Amino acid sequence: MTTDKVVHVSDNEFDSKVLGSELPCLVDFWAPWCGPCKAIGPVIEELAAEFDGKVVITKMNVDDNPATPGKFGIRAIPTLILFKGGEVVDQITGAVGKSQLQDLINKGL
């Protein structure tokens, strides 16, 4: 299932689209060469549709946008960070199951 609900963000847009978001925002820090990142991609798409209107789901390519991952100390990918009101609520590193990601998102609701 592919949706257009996932928002791709760059370093330049991060502050306005993520930190400035009125809704909680989940950021998937990933790279095209990362196997586990590709593995959770479809789950991210499903969650974007499931939580549409409640949470903004975004992806950031760490190869194209090195500044933001550096700012948040991203050392491994995929790393998913949940932001609410511009603050980090929680984060998960690694390819995890859908239920763990739902639990993470629910912390921001």
25 is catalytic: no
Catalytic residue (choose from 6, 26, 27, 34) = 34
37 is catalytic: yes
Residue 6: partners with Cβ closer than 8 Å, 6 or more residues away = 44, 45, 48, 57, 58, 59
Catalytic residue (choose from 6, 9, 37, 40) = 37
Active-site residues, by number, are 34, 37
